[in-house]
Amino acid sequence: MKIGISEAFRRYGATLKNVNWSVSSWVDSDTLVVSLWDHHHLKGRGRNVLAFGDRFDRWSGAGNSEFRMNVIRAFESGASVRLVLARALEPDRVQRGEDGSKIPKTFAVRDDLIGRVVEVSGENYVIEFRRPEI
């Protein structure tokens, strides 16, 4: 079943500030939910690690400002990060910095993973996800 971004965030207990531009939201003070593009997957980060990285300055607007602030806060506080994976049907449009709300995409809730922001360096960030130990 296809779900939209609002429903994907709701499944974690998070509410988007604005469904047209928000791509991150806090569940509580310790858990951030983010939507990340699947084509930003970073390979070679280690066994059992699913990592994503990008540049804050690749895109602009209110959603970017909110995302940047939330990712930096999660990095500084060591907060957990939960993943909504966005798959763009035309990823080259994303890379050109086009308005993501106008690009056809699907969303998947990856509630099997828990992440941390492991790097914020200038305009770059990296978030690593792992399956929790049983």
Q: What is the mean pLDDT of the chain?
A: 95
Residue 133's pLDDT band (cuts 50, 70, 90): confident
Please compute the mean of the pLDDT values over residues 19-34 and round it to a whole number. 96
Is residue 134's pLDDT more than 70? Answer: no
pTM here? Answer: 0.93
Tell me what pLDDT residue 97 has: 85
DSSP label of 44: -
Burial of 8 (0-12, 13-18, 19+ CB in 10 A): buried
